Amino acid sequence: METLDSYKNSRENNFNLLRFIAASMVLVSHSFPLATGSGISEPLKRFIGITFGHIAVDVFFITSGFLITGSLLRSKSYFSYVAARALRIYPALFVAISLIVFVMGPLVTSLSIGEYFSKETFVYFAKNVTLFMGVSHTLPGVFENIPWHSAVNGSLWTLPYELKMYFYLFVVFVLLKESRAYLPDFIKRFYKFEYVIATLAITSLTLHIANHFYFHMFNDFIRLFSFFFVGSFFYCFAHRIVLNNLLFFVATGLLVVSLFSKDAFMLCYILLLPYLVFYLAYIPRGIIRKFNQLGDYSYGIYIYSFPIQQLTAFAIVGISVLQMTVLAGVITLCFAIASWHIVEKRSLSFKPKSS
């Protein structure tokens, strides 16, 4: 039986396609509230309790935990890991936020240019290009009279969480590596990176499930932490995870059957989604693999879609969900393609090798 270990370091995979689909799901999901002004208007939310965007973000964090763990373990130095992560996130983000603040904002604000370029504008720019202090969502006078008023780029909320996960993973790795030499041999047997990752994954996944079923709380940090470290767990224990058609269809069948109950679905969803993601990332082959030749447009779609959707609502009063999805989708894809080929791909060429 083939395990995930035989695939995990291969460039022949469907991650670009999966992330593209996930980013597109975020766009579709956001079209409902941005066109209607209602946060509960998406049909999937009413049916199973979560949105397309919710699922997409979970997929992002699962794949990120897996791929970033691999990158960390392959890195030749601590600097190369940090540099690789910064080059992936910040250049494209800087360009996107600059266009939003200095081009889009002045064109659509209801205020004068002098009033628009206030302290709030520069705080928005500083927070959103660094992500260290969270993100800001409003600019002076921008998008005040549209259905989902004032929000400029709601998608950015996940990026500080993403950075935190990179940091936590890095800290675990560094602490274990640097302290190992000072430990007695009998402790070293159990003092391993993969064991700590397993502990973090299982503990956070348990808290995630407990939050839903026992505490009836929704905690984004626990949810995203758990999926990121479950992705990391899949990388560390890839040699024990079998990928085959039977297990995939059984997992899919359980997920479909669980739709009779929102609680049953959530339990199956939390437990089975990671396996489904990695099966789809590696097993389906054929013409879909040609998608990799196009590039990775997912990040561009993610950081540009929300403001472009808001622009369509600003320009077309009463725009429908379908109209917004199609129009904003086409424009966003153009920006994402440009972002990849002009900014992201070139930035990544500076990434240290083996990162």
pLDDT of residue 236: 97
Please say whether the beta carbons of 67 and 13 come within 8 A: no
Q: How far is CA 266 from CA 126, 197, 258, 273, in A?
A: 37, 23, 8, 10
pLDDT (tens digit per residue) in 206-248: 999 998 888 766 689 999 999 999 999 999 999 999 999 999 9
Helix (H, G, I), strand (E, B) or coil at 295: coil
Please say whether the beta carbons of 42 and 52 come within 8 A: yes
For the segment 260-271, the average pLDDT, to the nearest whole number, is 94
Runs of H (alpha helix) within 237-344 = 245-257, 262-282, 298-315, 321-338
Phi/psi of residue 281, nearest 5 degrees: -75, -30
Q: For residue 21, give both structure tokens.
A: 């689909």
DSSP 283: S
pLDDT of residue 188: 66
Q: For residue 222, give both structure tokens.
A: 């626990």
pLDDT (tens digit per residue) in 120-149: 999 999 999 999 999 999 999 999 999 999
Q: With the CA atoms of 227, 232, 237 and 238 taken in that order, what torsion angle do they form, in degrees rounded to the nearest 10?
A: 90
Reported as half-sphere exposure (CB side, CA atoms, 13 A), residue 99 has a value of 13
97, pLDDT greater than 90: yes
Identify the band that residue 354 occupies on the pLDDT scale cut at 50, 70 and 90: low
DSSP per-residue string spanning 148-213: TTT-S-GGGGHHHHHHHHHHHHHHHHHHHHHHGGGS-HHHHTT--HHHHHHHHHHHHHHHHHHHHH
Identify the band that residue 353 occupies on the pLDDT scale cut at 50, 70 and 90: confident
| Residue 167, amino acid | F
Q: Which of residues 300 and 42 earns the better pLDDT score?
A: 300
Which of 252, 208, 251, 242 has the alpha carbon at shortest distance from 227? Answer: 208
* Angstrom distance (rounded) from CA 177 to CA 204: 23
Identify the band that residue 186 occupies on the pLDDT scale cut at 50, 70 and 90: low
pLDDT (tens digit per residue) in 161-185: 999 999 999 999 999 988 877 777 7
Based on its alpha-carbon atoms, the radius of gyration of the chain, rounded to whole angstroms, reads: 21
Mean of the per-residue pLDDT values for the chain?
94
For the segment 317-341, the average pLDDT, to the nearest whole number, is 98
* Angstrom distance (rounded) from CA 26 to CA 220: 16
pLDDT of residue 41: 84
Please say whether the beta carbons of 32 and 321 come within 8 A: yes
Q: Which of residues 69 and 9 earns the better pLDDT score?
A: 69
Please say whether the beta carbons of 123 and 154 come within 8 A: no
**Percent of the chain having pLDDT more than 90?**
85
pLDDT (tens digit per residue) in 278-304: 999 999 999 999 999 999 999 999 999
Q: How far is CA 26 from CA 40, 100, 221, 322, in A?
A: 15, 19, 19, 14
55, pLDDT greater than 70: yes
DSSP per-residue string spanning 319-344: --HHHHHHHHHHHHHHHHHHIIIIII
Pairs from 35-44 (Cβ < 8 Å, separation ≥ 24): 35/147, 35/313, 35/319, 35/320, 35/321, 35/323, 35/324, 36/147, 36/321, 37/147, 37/148, 37/149, 41/321
